[in-house]
Structure 1
Amino acid sequence: MENVVATTDYKYVSYLWDEEVASSFGDDEVALLIYRSNLLGADLRLTNYAGGNTSCKTMEKDPLTKEDVEVMWVKGSGGDLGTLKKSGLAGLYLEKLHSLKNVYRGLEHEDEMVALFTRCLYDLDSKAPSIDTPLHAFLPFKHIDHLHPDAIIAIAASKDGEQITKELFGGKLAWVPWQRPGFDLGLILEKTVQENPGITGLILGSHGLFTWGDTAYESYINTLETIEKASEYLNEKFGKERPVFGGSRLESLPKEQRLGKASTLIPLLRGLCSSQKRMIGHFTDDERVLEFINSNDLEKLAPLGTSCPDHFLRTKIRPLVLNLAPDADLSDAKEVKAQLVDQFEAYRADYTAYYERSKHDNSPGIRDNNPVIILYPGVGMFSFAKDKQTARVSSEFYINAINVMKGAEAISEYQGLPEQEAFDIEYWLLEEAKLQRMPKPKPLSGRIALITGSAGGIGKAIAKKFVEEGAVVVLNDMNEERLQGAGEEFKQQYGKDAYATAILDVTKGDQIQEAFNKAALAFGGVDIIVNNAGLSISKTIEDHTQKDWDLLYDVLVKGQFLVTQAAVEVMRKQDIGGDVLNIVSKNALVSGPNNAGYGSAKAAQLHLSRLNAAELGGDGIRVNVVNPDAVISDSNIWAGGWAEGRAKAYGVKVEELPAFYAKRTLLNEIILPEDIANACFAFVGGLLNKSTGNVLNVDGGVAMAFVR
């Protein structure tokens, strides 16, 4: 390949190469491959999360013969370019991969070749080789990039894509008609390059782009230049022949109203999407989404589905477009749900019919027939999946599909993947095998938890336990600085998709509603409420003021009531049950000195829990209580005057309180926040699904607190 003269002046892609960083890798081609991959994966205009793959070929010493052998290093199955490390690569003997041509039995026997890829491994610590391995192996280039840029797929998915490719790139890019990835496609790519000497890349119909170079840098520049040229071409065409997507059919609601509609509607959608298993939701009103869903062409394009296999696998055959006016009155949840049920039943019937007319004798059974992508014209797009990351990424993929449709319609006519081809990918036996190999879901997978006062102490311990068991959580606190610190901690420890945050004073109805709106927009609703926010005041009866009394009852009793009330409204919309856990106290059952306000408020919390359990059982909402005692670690309660008050009441020093509390228990144990978190998980983890109205003491054993 000719020497590439680089330019950093790009408009539609990002030039991220740092020569100082690159030179630090010296002649380590694998390190340069990883560096290049990370740069390409950092620009979502070039490829999607976990999409595309890259490779390089190096000379290595065979560990057995000590002879020089050529090895191909390629991104392994399921990896992501943006975060790729060497552990995510597959290292294979190139000669052995080529020798597989001798045993290949034809297109009908494609799938049997994948198992043979592992017999070609040079690096025994390799990631499992992907289906795209032969596509890289059979191309005679040192460095290869295979990406799914929106601009390229727009050409690849257009009716006149082949002719446009020829004219736009002057014969430097060859066109390969659609074929499912696999061994045979690798042979086709090899033949295409042989028949078209001097080309710098390949466009795969409905699929993506292959580019290459003699060095990592040349491959990188070739990739950027190719995508930049296609992007520039598309942008010159937008709105020239006809309005984008045929022009606007309706106007979006103002931002605040869109979010209001979305937060009101999404629990209903989530409940319907969770008819087979609980789903987590995601909402976006991205400008690109609004342009598409408000357009005249929505009705024509949405049913066509997506073209690129990566897009399709994440978003299903087609979205559900809601037949609901943007300004529809959503206040009557039962009436709105009745409308949605009809639309969901129609979607499920359509998906089932698609499965029945497309299936083969050996196809896996039909999977969940609920939509992944739901479009609400004038408002935005909802996506639902097994976890937050998958729901968010599915949304991102559909935005890529929108970009593709926009580009294809601007230059020609968009063509979705043929239905049978789409089915053969969705229900590919290799994909099914991959699904079957996935780890068993954690006990709280698909669950959304809102724990009040979760920026520290018991609340944060509960939130951590729930995330570790698969849930997503809404962290909240009335102290903004404390909440921000907790959010940063969760981001570092669990990633951005594990949590959301909301300022919440449980005595303020507007803040409660806003917290539930955030839970809805972030995740789709709520399944578990933990009423944990609290405070303690320890005073003699003569020192206890009316202000003290009102504060205790407002936070502990009214706060528990108001949060539960708001939660029940969401849970009833979802109609998939739920859990309310109330963190009460040993003091709800035990009479102690200097404790009239706090102890009686805790008793009220306990009985309110019983009353709620009796009322909500018919909705499948379980209400249970955890009674801690003397949880001192990282607690706001003990940071105030409570510790001094209790020490005075018991005639000990403050620093002696932990040991004092432990010695008075039957087990002689100090109680930690993690102990309370474990008790909460015991109630919601799946083993006690038929229990409600219960009290679980976590106090080390205080006989006076035994429930009788």
Structure 2
Amino acid sequence: MAISPHVAALLDRSHRLGADPRNTNYAGGNTSAKGTAPDPVTGRDTELMWVKGSGGDLGTLTEGGLAVLRLDRLRALAEVYPGVEREDEMVAAFDYCLHGRGRLPEGEGAAPSIDTAMHGLVDAAHVDHLHPDSGIALACAADGEKLTAACFGDKVVWVPWRRPGFQLGLDIAAIKAANPRAIGCVLGGHGITTWGDTAEECEANSLFVIRTAQSFLTEHGKAEPFGAVIDGYAALDPARRRARAARLAPLIRGLVSTDRPQVGHFDDSDTVLGFLAGAEHPRLAALGTSCPDHFLRTKVRPLVLDLPPTAELDAVADRLKELHAEYREEYAAYYHRHARPDSPAMRGADPAIVLVPGVGMFSFGQDKQTARVAGEFYVNAINVMRGAESVSSYTPIEESEKFRIEYWELEEAKLRRMPPPKPLATRVALVTGAGSGIGRAVAHRLVAEGACVVVADVNADGALAVCEELGGPDKAVAVTADVTSEEQVADVFAAAALAFGGVDLVVNNAGISISRPLLETTARDWDLQHAVMARGSFLVSREAARLMRAQGMGGDIVYIVSKNSVVAGPNNVAYSAAKADQAHQVRLLAAELGGDGIRVNGVNPDGVVRGSGIFAGGWGAQRAATYGIEEDELGEFYAQRTLLKREVLPEHVANAVFALTGGDLTHTTGLHVPVDAGVAAAFPR
């Protein structure tokens, strides 16, 4: 079915506005268009409104993300509105205004958002509600009303803070009717709303308000709104601060995962570092964010380290633990100050944002995207503070109002609608040799089950290709590494800490093989295979244990070993001996690391031919020659010698890795799982 002109124009406008972070933040704001379309029953033209639904993002909005409502029914709600004390009831009433089937089939439609009344009651064909940093800076300034008048005259009207809802929609509708020259308004503590008779006029009005506000702040603002740089708090050079961040990230992630596991994100942008260097940053950070979209994702305020970036790491670790304990006490007190008998239960007392002067910002969430977006919102908040402080003083809404929104039953209902988490949600995995074959299949399975994955491989192109297959940096990051190098292994874990906050699950999969008879096996053949598999997995496991202990969250280490670790085969002494070394590492490390909650297990596959980088790199030809068959017959040859007569594929090995780490085998460590379709000689004993 062709998209209607009303919808096409609305989506185009939304995409343009949402593509520029100066206009609005991720998933923030909403846009709408009014027009006519045939009623599905009578066939007569009916006035409708298309509006971005709850939880969508303007930059990526689709038709399925729009709620479609009948205007006559929506406007009639004003006649039955029970007043501000019961305005939340109106959200459920929006469902009775939906057009036709209302929402599109099977999850493609959108529930009407809390801002639906703002769009429907305002007498304009097109309405934009946005959260630009420049507009919120005026909205959160102590004398915002005066500044709004000075900036815009009578073209933009000040609206005092009111929680989003039906009453705010009535207020803005009345303001537009009383101010015929106005093109929009600044909503105190919140954002902006604009309107127009056409989509083009509405978009132009939005951009005018945003850009005019920014020009006003630039022209009238003072040079150092965050104060002079604190002595010793300037940013470390990039290499030093990222190295320090990589050391701190697992500790911080462990602390903020006290109530529930979190995934991390790191930001050392000039905006963050400049804010943390200024003398006013402790005062401003303590005031918290203001715009509802901000603090719903960043929590009411961040945790701020009060030590310079040159402080000893041990002292920093101790201080972070003290500050975290204080933060949790203060957050619980905040909850109990404002909670009512019918308030939702406290969701957790850990911070979402941790600020470390001279180093950067660590943000956290239920997945990488949530963690990244929380950080982006705090950057928005920093920009708002800068703007407000440059022309006035930053004055966010009252703490009690923040609580009302953070623990709003409508927000709680939105959380209840979210799908249940996948088995590996919040877990960060690191897979070596993940650019092809078994490693690639393992990475795919772990991401499919909710994990974030560091794709490590000596082949940079292969690692990058797998990351693209997995969905990009919110799902996976690529790191080029030779596992025989201590320095490169350490760099892989540092990259994991910076990308996701730490590591919970390590898969030792990197491997190499050369098939030769004993008398033709050179010392170099022996050394190379032991370096990659025995030494490499040792180095990776040692670094994993160091990081996991810093996190204090336990973890999993899985070795992709081989049935050759227990089966004596021909022309294979170096490879099989290295695999036997790995097999015993599983037992040794399971015994040593169990007290830290770190489980160590192994998977013993038979030869995995299809998709294998090792087999394609010459091992397949060598093994085929050993058995006197053609190379393309090798997979079937291996299958026919098993009890089940089945070929082992990369995904079968990935299934075993998931079985060991997916949550059901919580009391299993030191185990080797055969994935060989039944090779009797390889039965564990």
TM-score by length of 1: 0.94
Equivalences for residues 662-681 of structure 1 within 5 A: 662-681=639-658
Q: Given the alignment of the two structures, is residue 276 of structure 1 paired with residue 259 of structure 2, yes or no?
A: yes
Find the partner of 1:352 among 312, 332, 338. Answer: 332
**How big is the shift at 1:489?**
2.4
Specify the alignment match of 2:374 in structure 1: 394
Q: Given the alignment of the two structures, is residue 305 of structure 1 paired with residue 288 of structure 2, yes or no?
A: yes
Q: 1:621 to 1:179 in 2, by over 3 A?
A: same
**How big is the shift at 1:445?**
0.4
Q: Given the alignment of the two structures, is residue 460 of structure 1 paired with residue 440 of structure 2, yes or no?
A: yes
CA deviation vs aligned residue, 1:184-243 (integer Å, no higher than 9, x gap): 111111111122122111110011111111111111111111211111111123335xx2
Specify the alignment match of 2:16 in structure 1: 39
Q: Given the alignment of the two structures, is residue 247 of structure 1 paired with residue 228 of structure 2, yes or no?
A: yes
Does the CA-based 8 Å contact 1:315-1:397 persist in structure 2? Answer: yes
Equivalences for residues 148-227 of structure 1 within 5 A: 148-227=131-210
Does the CA-based 8 Å contact 2:459-2:480 persist in structure 1? Answer: yes
**How big is the shift at 1:300?**
1.3
Amino acid at match of 2:385: M
Specify the alignment match of 1:684 in structure 2: 661
Q: Given the alignment of the two structures, is residue 507 of structure 1 paired with residue 507 of structure 2, yes or no?
A: no
Specify the alignment match of 2:415 in structure 1: 435
Amino acid at match of 1:552: Q
Q: 1:621 to 1:121 in 2, by over 3 A?
A: same
**How big is the shift at 1:26?**
11
Equivalences for residues 360-375 of structure 1 within 5 A: 360-375=340-355
Does the CA-based 8 Å contact 2:139-2:188 persist in structure 1? Answer: yes
Does the CA-based 8 Å contact 1:305-1:417 persist in structure 2? Answer: no
Q: Given the alignment of the two structures, is residue 132 of structure 1 paired with residue 109 of structure 2, yes or no?
A: no
**How big is the shift at 1:285?**
0.8
Find the partner of 1:413 among 358, 374, 393. Answer: 393
CA deviation vs aligned residue, 1:262-318 (integer Å, no higher than 9, x gap): 000010000011112110011111111111111111121111111110011010110
CA deviation vs aligned residue, 1:469-500 (integer Å, no higher than 9, x gap): 0000001111122223223322xxx2430011
Amino acid at match of 1:399: V
Q: Secondary structure at the match of 1:542?
A: helix
Q: Given the alignment of the two structures, is residue 695 of structure 1 paired with residue 669 of structure 2, yes or no?
A: no
Distance 1:238 1:203 in 2: 19
Does the CA-based 8 Å contact 1:246-1:297 persist in structure 2? Answer: yes
Specify the alignment match of 2:606 in structure 1: 629
Does the CA-based 8 Å contact 2:33-2:125 persist in structure 1? Answer: yes
How big is the alpha-carbon RMSD for the aligned residues of Structure 1 and Structure 2? 1.2
Q: Secondary structure at the match of 2:518?
A: coil
Distance 2:465 2:373 in 1: 26
Specify the alignment match of 2:40 in structure 1: 63
Q: Given the alignment of the two structures, is residue 587 of structure 1 paired with residue 564 of structure 2, yes or no?
A: yes
CA deviation vs aligned residue, 1:558-608 (integer Å, no higher than 9, x gap): 001000000000000001100000000000000011111111111111011
Distance 2:141 2:300 in 1: 18
Does the CA-based 8 Å contact 2:610-2:649 persist in structure 1? Answer: yes
Distance 2:624 2:183 in 1: 79
Equivalences for residues 93-132 of structure 1 within 5 A: 93-123=70-100, 124=102, 125=104, 126-132=109-115
**How big is the shift at 1:172?**
0.7
Distance 1:27 1:275 in 2: 49
Find the partner of 2:500 among 498, 523, 529. Answer: 523
**How big is the shift at 1:336?**
4.7
Does the CA-based 8 Å contact 2:222-2:391 persist in structure 1? Answer: no
Distance 1:163 1:600 in 2: 79
Distance 2:221 2:606 in 1: 66
Find the partner of 1:705 among 672, 676, 682. Answer: 682
Distance 1:159 1:597 in 2: 74
Specify the alignment match of 2:577 in structure 1: 600
Q: Given the alignment of the two structures, is residue 479 of structure 1 paired with residue 485 of structure 2, yes or no?
A: no
Specify the alignment match of 2:5 in structure 1: 28
Could you list the runs of 4 or more consecutive aligned residues of structure 1 that deviate by over 3 angstroms after TM superposition? 335-338
Q: Given the alignment of the two structures, is residue 258 of structure 1 paired with residue 241 of structure 2, yes or no?
A: yes
Amino acid at match of 1:358: H
Amino acid at match of 1:459: G
Q: Secondary structure at the match of 2:677?
A: coil
**How big is the shift at 1:618?**
0.4
Q: Given the alignment of the two structures, is residue 86 of structure 1 paired with residue 97 of structure 2, yes or no?
A: no
Distance 2:89 2:461 in 1: 57
List alignment gaps of at least 5 residues for structure 1.
1-24
TM-score by length of 2: 0.97
Distance 2:349 2:226 in 1: 28
**How big is the shift at 1:647?**
1.4
List alignment gaps of at least 5 residues for structure 2.
none
Range that drifts further, 152-161 or 191-200: 191-200
**How big is the shift at 1:58?**
0.4
Does the CA-based 8 Å contact 2:131-2:192 persist in structure 1? Answer: yes
**How big is the shift at 1:27?**
7.9
Q: 1:200 to 1:252 in 2, by over 3 A?
A: same
Aligned length: 676
**How big is the shift at 1:93?**
0.4
Using the aligned pairs only, state the percent identity: 53
Does the CA-based 8 Å contact 1:539-1:595 persist in structure 2? Answer: yes
Q: Given the alignment of the two structures, is residue 535 of structure 1 paired with residue 512 of structure 2, yes or no?
A: yes
Q: Given the alignment of the two structures, is residue 236 of structure 1 paired with residue 219 of structure 2, yes or no?
A: yes
Range that drifts further, 107-116 or 639-648: 639-648
Does the CA-based 8 Å contact 1:448-1:473 persist in structure 2? Answer: yes
